[in-house]
Amino acid sequence: MLEHKLVACANFFPASSMYWWKGDLQNDQEWIGIFKTRCDLVEKVKKNVSANHPYEIPCLLSFDAEVNEAYGNWVFEQTSG
């Protein structure tokens, strides 16, 4: 997504996750990804993650966040979708 200018920055964090899946309680190690982009590119990012994620149902959350002007300008300049 970085190469295609859908996101300006991507952060990844390891996580221990517990959840129900198909009737069984799961306890797995996963990775959390934070993708920083413009509001008008969120749906393209979600489609890209869904198409490339190994999970049948990946968790895709989006947040409309306020950022400082300089960072917001940088994100806009780095993305084009």
Residue 1 lies in a domain: no
The string of pLDDT tens digits covering residues 1-27 is 999 999 999 999 999 999 999 999 999
Residue 3 lies in a domain: no
pTM tops 0.85, yes or no: yes
Over residues 56-62, the mean pLDDT reads 96
Residue 4 lies in a domain: no
| pLDDT reported for residue 81 | 74
Task: State the CATH number of the domain containing residue 23.
Answer: 3.30.70.120
Residue 71 lies in a domain: yes
Domain residues for 35?
9-78
Distances in Å between the Cα of 13 and the Cα atoms of 16, 23, 49, 70, 77 are 10, 27, 16, 25, 25
Q: Show Cβ contacts of residue 74 under 8 Å, excluding neighbours closer than 6 positions.
A: 8
Residue 53 lies in a domain: yes
Number of domains in the chain: 1
Over residues 35-53, the mean pLDDT reads 97
Amino acid at 54: P
